[in-house]
Structure 1
Amino acid sequence: MRAPVSWLTEHVGLSGHPSAEDLAEALIRVGFEVEDVEQLEAVPGPLVVGKVLEIEELTEFKKPIRFCRVDVGTRGRDPEQPQGIVCGATNFAVGDLVVAALPGTTLPGDFAIAARKTYGRVSDGMLCALDELGLGDDHAGILVLPPDTAEPGTDAAPLLGLADGSAEAVLDVAVNPDRGYALSIRGMGRELANAYDAPFGDPAAIDQGVPTSGEAGYPVTVEPASGCRRFVARRVTGLDPTAPSPWWMTRRLLLAGIRPISLAVDVTNYVMLELGQPMHAYDAARIRGDVVVRRARADEKLTTLDDVSRALDPDDVVVCDASGPIGLAGVMGGASTEVTPSTTDVLLEAATWDPASVARAARRHKLPSEAARRFERAVDPAVARAATDRAAALLAHHGGATVDGGVTDVGPFAEGTEEPTPTITMPLDLPDRVAGVTYPRGASVRRLVQVGCAVEVGGDGVSVVPPTWRPDLTRPADLVEEVLRLEGYDVIPSVLPEFAGGTGLTMAQRRRRQVSHALADAGYQEVLPSPFMAPTVLDAFGLDADDPRRTAVRLANPLDADRSLMATTLLPGLLDAVVRNVSRGLRDLALFHVGQVARPDGTPAAAPVVGTAGRPTDAEIAALLEALPAQPLRVGAVLTGAWEPKGWWGEGRPATWADAIDAARTVAAVYGATPSVSNDRHAPWHPGRCAALHVDGVLVGHAGELHPKVLETLGLPPRTCAMELELDRLPVHEVLARPEVSAFPPVLLDVALVAPVDVPTAAIGAALVEGGGELIEDVRLFDVYSGAQVGEGRRSLAFALRLRAPDRTLTLEEAGAARDAAIALAGERHGATLRA
């Protein structure tokens, strides 16, 4: 809402002369957002009103050029002769009043005017357009003033609001959807008066002095299903179609961002800005029969004022005559009854429409308008009669029209038939309790009266009837908001709430954070992939038809049609991140993500639809929880490219399946666990390079290299590896076991065992640890050999054993016995023999 300051303060009894910045701060203080304070730039120098006496068309040029003789009084080069000015605009004629910037004038933008020779003539000044004066963006032609605005030679700067020291300012205020009343000078002025505690004169209460006979006006019928709340109409006849809009009205419309058109149209726009009531003017001579307000019928069409034929929807509200629709209610009028330059008989309409119907129609037909913007935010139904009286009075005064004494006032909110506004009861101390501030006695009542409410005090509470222009006030909380904003949000202290000491994070939450820290320390980067996946990715993974990961929750309204399932594994999102990064030139990647997946067990139960009137019942909450799928917490990681980069220090090393397993060990170490590793077949991993990870006999995840077909299908680099663990399956200990360092020396022994090649080295290492008992401190594989010396189908595995006792120095006999027991168990379980 653009509001010229002089218009905004016209009905507010302000003391002194506050600046535009002060007014903006006042509106901000009562809860409005002022987007801009536009101060018009004063124009120094001889800016005068001129009268065009003669126009010479210079036809030797490719574009229209005119040499004009302009009467500028005694302000010209020769006081006895008109001023010669070259101009390229064609929207004026001889006898028009224009604004002339004479040599020595400096227009906005530091544009200095001087006499100069151009197009073979000497131009002593310039005829000014709106944008050149800083009054708008229109450059379609020069500014033509209404006749009799001023005498030629009159200083134009005060007339235009561009005088030095008193230049006009415009406030651009953002109005929230629930405060439609503020899209008017009436509503914004009331808020300004509240901010200053100044008296406010309601422009809607001013008697316009138009005649009223008490007889019925133009016949109008409002059908009950139309959504029309009130329809007021007045007819004016004998309008002078050539009468121009007065300059003061034109200037205010321009500053408010509305282009002047004609007196009848300008008057309706002016009343809309002043009172907040959108209006429409019909050419009454072109209306056929009675007017009917109803919903549109099937196959009906309407040609709107923009000359577009529109197919109407049965939800549209239309104004009709005997020929059919003549207007799309609340949005735009029809071309068949448009006011033309020859119109002398005008029917003025001020109606109130259902906000939702107008909003739907404006969006359906892609017709945003200033009227629709106000109607969809709700317009005060009580101001319709005042708006028609104001418009009729303006047309009578400036257009010589005669106002018909009959008034049409129909609809559910017509005068005398409107339903009473519901009363709201509020405890007097409720604003104090909400704000935590003790307001002065009577502050709540005073502020609610300022808003326009009718207030009755009784006991410890008040009964409040909101004004007709505030349909957003429906409950005590709304009244509290009004009191708080008018008393000032700045007086409400900002006090941080005091929290009682709690237990902090649970151990599971701490472990989850430690997992992220551990992987980051190991060189991985955390990503936040989409929690949704495409159904096709499960086929790309090569999952069996009965794989549990294919049982997924389907989204009813997916953000992306290609990702319509909730992810049952973290790998799709992580692999998408790999593809995206590789496409951008990043080929050495180590990414991880910790998050939940959705793993429904069979068909999930249907979730009930819970209302918003109150808290859900215990049964509804239980049903909602029952409908939720299992959502285990998991960690996933992917690796591709070089794990150790190459450089002057060496050749580097690519990431392998072993690094993926190490990532799993890093995660398990956070929980104080050591996973056992065994070969497995689990899509989408390579069957020969996939490890199943167990902790305390429980399968917690898989790690290894992904299948080549999967890599090819998804466009991933060769040898991409991945790991995924279910953190909920790892044991959570309150206190992790602390490593104890023995003060006694270790005994270091090496053993070389020959075993079948299909026996995993991890299994033999685990047998050595178990067989050696408590004395085995560490077992590490340091050599693998295959050849004729160990036989076909077998290999030699060399392990380094570290043995130590916590309370004594081991003897060679004790160490040897532990070693022999370890070898024996490895031989018993896996057929391993000591290499000769």
Structure 2
Amino acid sequence: MRIAISWLREYVDVPVEPDALERALVGMGLEVEEIVDLRTTVTGPLVLGRVLSAELLTGFKKPIRYCQVDVGEAEPRGIVCGAPNVAEGETVVVALPGAVLPGDFAIAARKTYGKVSDGMICSVRELGLGDDHAGIMVIPPSERLHPGDDARPVVGLDDIVVELEITPDRGYCHSARGIARELSHAFGVPLRDPARIDAPGATEPSPYPITVDDPVGCDRFAVRMVRGIDPAAQAPQWMKQRLSVAGIRSISLAVDITNYVMLELGQPMHAFDPNRLAGPLLVRRARAGERLTTLDGVDRELDGEDMVICDTGLDNPLAPGAGLPVSLAAVMGGENSEMQPDSVDVLFEAAHWDPVMVSRTARRHRLLSEAAKRWERGVDPQLPLVALQRAVTLMTEFGGGRPEPGVLDLDHVVAPRPIVMPSSLPGRVAGIAYPEQRVAQLLQEVGCAVSPGQPAEPGPAAVPALVVTPPTWRPDLLQPADLVEEVVRLDGYNKIESVLPAAPAGNGLTPTQRRRRTVGRALAEAGFVEALSYPFVAAGALDALGLPDDDSRRAAVRLANPLSDEEPLLRTTLLPPLLGTVRRNLGRGQRDVALFELGTVFLRRPDQPAAPAMGVDGRPSESDLAATEAAIPHQPWHVAAVLVGDVERAGWWGAGRTASWADAIEAARTTVDAAGARVTVRAAQRAPWHPGRCAEFVLAGQAGEPETVVGYAGELHPAVCEAFELPRGSAAMELDLDALPLPGIVAAPDFSTYPPALIDVAVVVDATTPAAAVQDALVTGAGPLLETVRLFDVYSSEQLGEGRKSLAYKLTFRAPDRTLTGDEAVAARDAAVAEAARRVGAVLRGA
């Protein structure tokens, strides 16, 4: 919203210093985009001139005129002008040589188009007063204006313009009236409300027959008629100037008046030529298939939610008797009823439309007009008659004509709903003591009606309540919190001290939160980067994973209102979004990728009921809540990781190493260790992993309970790699983190200062024996002296025999209280090998 300070000063006495204005507006919660002192934008001679002649120059691609212009000097000046509207006898604005226009555009005498142009005839945009560059700025003739006069006070370059960014909840500030009201609050001065004028009410007969079919979409519709206007009359210069500053181009007197009243009061209006109407008007919803050519020349197909104003005198084959649309209500008029250059009568319309309907219509047709912008933010429903009176007054003053006495006012407006608020609420929220009288005073300044109310909880400690009825121009005041904001805003945000709240005592992170953070930190330290994905997947993603038809992961929950129709399912595994993220990184040039994600999956039970349908007209019943709770899918936390490319890069130091299934298994081991659990690793088959390169992680049951598979790791199946556009050999792991038991209290480890005894041992076992089973046997057999055990080699050959393999481990023995002897270390090793022989048939290699 751009507006001149001189206009605001007609309604409220405010200082003209830009700094003071900016502080006041910001203090009221209005965002100031820019304050421009127009007195400083144009320097040098800027005068009024009268065009004495306009000679058309030939031989050029566009019309060029060489004008003789009287600028109050002894001789006229010759000026070249390419504007289409320059003509003999016009009063124009001339920048003489030595003037500097906005944008540091210096004016000098120069030769162009074969003539010497001794100055420049200016347009609105060249003067920095608006965006209109369709032609030069033409000043209406006046006996008070003479060639050579300073043009600045005539065109408004002696003013200050403020540009505000109006938030959606402050729609009333899209008008001079609304901004002036805010300045009256800021400076504590009276407001001369331009809406306080005598406006006649509805009469019989009405000036034009009109029917409103839908009082919800249009709860107020009012019209007045002015006949016998001068079709050649133009808007006065001051009105054109104010419209130009606001970015609105002058069109005709009737249209300019409707735009001016909209800027002044905030009430959008429309002007019909009644002589182009064939019958009574009908306000209704559009019918499917109806079309309307709007004022911008675009033929539009209407939607059933659009409100239209129809001429019932025109036959409509799609809606017999309902007439043809002549206006897209509240957004833009139609070509078939607009004012023409020869129009002698005007029917002014001012209505009140449903903001939601207007917003949807404007966006549907991509017509975010100035009127629609105000309607969707809320317009005062009590303005239509006032706006009509103001428009009629301006029309008869500048265009002649006579107003007809009839007034039509179809009023179905619902009064604002009172709000009950404890008088202490603003103080409790802001931390400032606001006496009840002060709260009532501030709300009354806003325009609210305030009266005492009954406390919500009567008793000795009852808090007084206030019954507050918002003004009609504040549709955003709907609940006590809105009133609190108004009290704090008017009293001053600067009075609220910056005090940090005291943090309440707590227990810190829960065990599950602590475990998730520990796992994430461990994977990050292992070289993985965390990714955060949306939990939505497409049905085709489950096919790409190669899941069998009976796989439980295919029983995904389908969203009723998904963000994207392409991904309507909630994920049952973390892998599809994570693999998609890896593919995106590869597509952007990243060759080596290691990502992990911690998040929930959504697992629907086979017998899970559907959620009941519930309305919004009241609180759900306890049975509905229970049924909804039962319909919520199980949502365990999973952790997944994917590796592609090199985990060790090649260089002058040696050869690198490509990620493989073993790295995925190691990532899973890292996760399990960080979670404080112990699992067994063994070969398995499960999509989407390669059948021969997949391991499952098994948690042993306690007290006779069955074992639990908590996850899988390994190389992805080649078909899965192809479906997700990943290189062959890509590896991944996924674990159910919630299936791992929470660790108990972990005792701090004891560190021995005595030297270790290092012994390597190689055992031969069946090729199908898991290495983890051999390691568990070694740990059990070695006893408390064993500090660490690590597999460092896997070997197979003909010498070992078919179906046999050799596993080599590094064993570290250490005693806490003494240096171990060689015999003690060897005895511990032998005990470890003996236990491995007993459990898995291991044979000491070379024995």
- TM-score, length basis structure 1: 0.91
The letter of the residue matching 1:437 is I
Q: 1:55 is matched with which residue?
A: 54
How many angstroms apart in 1 are the aligned matches of 2:25 and 2:252?
33
How many Å apart are 1:807 and its aligned residue?
A: 5.8
1:314-358: CA deviations, max 9, x gaps?
433333332233323222223232211111111222222233333
Relative to structure 1, the CA distance from residue 823 to residue 102 in structure 2 (aligned partners, 3 Å threshold; closer, same or farther) is closer
Relative to structure 1, the CA distance from residue 296 to residue 574 in structure 2 (aligned partners, 3 Å threshold; closer, same or farther) is closer
8 A Cα contact 2:777 2:835, kept in partner:
yes
Relative to structure 1, the CA distance from residue 420 to residue 555 in structure 2 (aligned partners, 3 Å threshold; closer, same or farther) is closer
1:25-44: CA deviations, max 9, x gaps?
21221222222223324423
Task: Name the stretch that deviates more: 686-695 or 181-190.
Answer: 686-695
Q: 1:723 is matched with which residue?
A: 733
Relative to structure 1, the CA distance from residue 194 to residue 115 in structure 2 (aligned partners, 3 Å threshold; closer, same or farther) is same
1:645-693: CA deviations, max 9, x gaps?
1111111222232222222222222233443222222222222222222
How many angstroms apart in 2 are the aligned matches of 1:446 and 1:706?
71
Q: 2:109 is matched with which residue?
A: 115
8 A Cα contact 1:47 1:101, kept in partner:
yes
Q: 1:220 is matched with which residue?
A: 209
2:20 maps to 1:22:
yes
The letter of the residue matching 1:173 is L
Q: 1:477 is matched with which residue?
A: 481
Structure 2 counterparts to residues 124-523 of structure 1, below 5 A: 124-148=118-142, 150-162=145-157, 167-207=158-198, 216-226=205-215, 227-297=217-287, 300-321=290-311, 322-323=313-314, 324=323, 325-413=325-413, 421-439=416-434, 442-457=437-452, 460-523=464-527
Structure 2 counterparts to residues 548-567 of structure 1, below 5 A: 548-567=552-571
Residue of 743, 761, 775 corresponding to 1:765: 775
SS of 2:195's equivalent?
helix
8 A Cα contact 1:771 1:823, kept in partner:
yes
Relative to structure 1, the CA distance from residue 791 to residue 170 in structure 2 (aligned partners, 3 Å threshold; closer, same or farther) is same
The letter of the residue matching 1:708 is P
Q: Gaps spanning 5+ residues in structure 2: where?
A: 315-322, 455-463, 701-706
Q: 1:67 is matched with which residue?
A: 66
The letter of the residue matching 1:261 is I
How many angstroms apart in 1 are the aligned matches of 2:786 and 2:479?
76
SS of 2:561's equivalent?
coil
Task: Name the stretch that deviates more: 384-393 or 713-722.
Answer: 713-722
How many angstroms apart in 2 are the aligned matches of 1:750 and 1:339?
100
1:691-738: CA deviations, max 9, x gaps?
222344543222222223322332222322222222222232232244
How many Å apart are 1:91 and its aligned residue?
A: 0.7
How many Å apart are 1:280 and its aligned residue?
A: 1.4
SS of 1:159's equivalent?
helix
8 A Cα contact 2:442 2:487, kept in partner:
yes
How many angstroms apart in 2 are the aligned matches of 1:212 and 1:786?
103
How many angstroms apart in 2 are the aligned matches of 1:212 and 1:577?
66
2:518 maps to 1:524:
no
RMSD over aligned CA atoms reads: 2.9
SS of 1:340's equivalent?
coil
How many angstroms apart in 2 are the aligned matches of 1:147 and 1:608?
74
Relative to structure 1, the CA distance from residue 125 to residue 532 in structure 2 (aligned partners, 3 Å threshold; closer, same or farther) is same
How many Å apart are 1:749 and its aligned residue?
A: 5.0
SS of 2:687's equivalent?
coil
8 A Cα contact 1:453 1:466, kept in partner:
yes
How many angstroms apart in 2 are the aligned matches of 1:392 and 1:158?
28
SS of 1:734's equivalent?
coil
Relative to structure 1, the CA distance from residue 434 to residue 610 in structure 2 (aligned partners, 3 Å threshold; closer, same or farther) is farther
8 A Cα contact 2:533 2:578, kept in partner:
yes
How many Å apart are 1:775 and its aligned residue?
A: 4.6
Task: Name the stretch that deviates more: 788-797 or 643-652.
Answer: 788-797
2:29 maps to 1:31:
yes
The letter of the residue matching 2:67 is C
8 A Cα contact 1:212 1:406, kept in partner:
no
How many Å apart are 1:179 and its aligned residue?
A: 2.8
Relative to structure 1, the CA distance from residue 557 to residue 248 in structure 2 (aligned partners, 3 Å threshold; closer, same or farther) is same
How many Å apart are 1:251 and its aligned residue?
A: 0.4
2:538 maps to 1:534:
yes
The letter of the residue matching 2:100 is T
Relative to structure 1, the CA distance from residue 13 to residue 613 in structure 2 (aligned partners, 3 Å threshold; closer, same or farther) is farther
SS of 1:158's equivalent?
helix
How many angstroms apart in 2 are the aligned matches of 1:633 and 1:489?
44
How many Å apart are 1:504 and its aligned residue?
A: 0.5
Q: 1:416 is matched with which residue?
A: none
8 A Cα contact 2:213 2:283, kept in partner:
no
The letter of the residue matching 1:56 is E
Relative to structure 1, the CA distance from residue 788 to residue 301 in structure 2 (aligned partners, 3 Å threshold; closer, same or farther) is closer
1:402-454: CA deviations, max 9, x gaps?
222222223325xxxxx654444444333333322123563223222222233
Relative to structure 1, the CA distance from residue 470 to residue 525 in structure 2 (aligned partners, 3 Å threshold; closer, same or farther) is closer
Residue of 600, 617, 620 corresponding to 1:596: 600
1:588-627: CA deviations, max 9, x gaps?
2222222222222225432345666787666555444322
Q: 1:46 is matched with which residue?
A: 45
Task: Name the stretch that deviates more: 47-56 or 587-596.
Answer: 587-596
8 A Cα contact 2:555 2:604, kept in partner:
yes
How many angstroms apart in 2 are the aligned matches of 1:664 and 1:548?
22
Identity %: 55
Tell me how many residue pairs correspond in the alignment: 818
SS of 1:601's equivalent?
coil
Relative to structure 1, the CA distance from residue 643 to residue 108 in structure 2 (aligned partners, 3 Å threshold; closer, same or farther) is closer
Relative to structure 1, the CA distance from residue 640 to residue 7 in structure 2 (aligned partners, 3 Å threshold; closer, same or farther) is same
1:742-799: CA deviations, max 9, x gaps?
4666555555444333333333333333334445444444555544544343344444
Task: Name the stretch that deviates more: 620-629 or 230-239.
Answer: 620-629
Relative to structure 1, the CA distance from residue 315 to residue 555 in structure 2 (aligned partners, 3 Å threshold; closer, same or farther) is closer
8 A Cα contact 1:456 1:464, kept in partner:
yes
8 A Cα contact 1:507 1:734, kept in partner:
no
The letter of the residue matching 1:320 is C
How many angstroms apart in 1 are the aligned matches of 2:306 and 2:607?
43
How many angstroms apart in 1 are the aligned matches of 2:189 and 2:347?
38
Q: 1:739 is matched with which residue?
A: 749
8 A Cα contact 1:671 1:736, kept in partner:
no
How many Å apart are 1:176 and its aligned residue?
A: 2.8
How many angstroms apart in 1 are the aligned matches of 2:406 and 2:795?
112
How many Å apart are 1:193 and its aligned residue?
A: 0.8
8 A Cα contact 2:767 2:805, kept in partner:
yes
How many angstroms apart in 2 are the aligned matches of 1:700 and 1:312?
57
SS of 1:689's equivalent?
strand
Structure 2 counterparts to residues 91-110 of structure 1, below 5 A: 91-110=85-104
How many angstroms apart in 2 are the aligned matches of 1:313 and 1:541?
43
Relative to structure 1, the CA distance from residue 621 to residue 33 in structure 2 (aligned partners, 3 Å threshold; closer, same or farther) is farther
SS of 1:203's equivalent?
coil
Relative to structure 1, the CA distance from residue 196 to residue 440 in structure 2 (aligned partners, 3 Å threshold; closer, same or farther) is farther
8 A Cα contact 1:633 1:727, kept in partner:
yes
Relative to structure 1, the CA distance from residue 533 to residue 409 in structure 2 (aligned partners, 3 Å threshold; closer, same or farther) is closer
SS of 2:404's equivalent?
strand
SS of 1:664's equivalent?
helix
How many angstroms apart in 2 are the aligned matches of 1:543 and 1:297?
49
- TM-score, length basis structure 2: 0.90
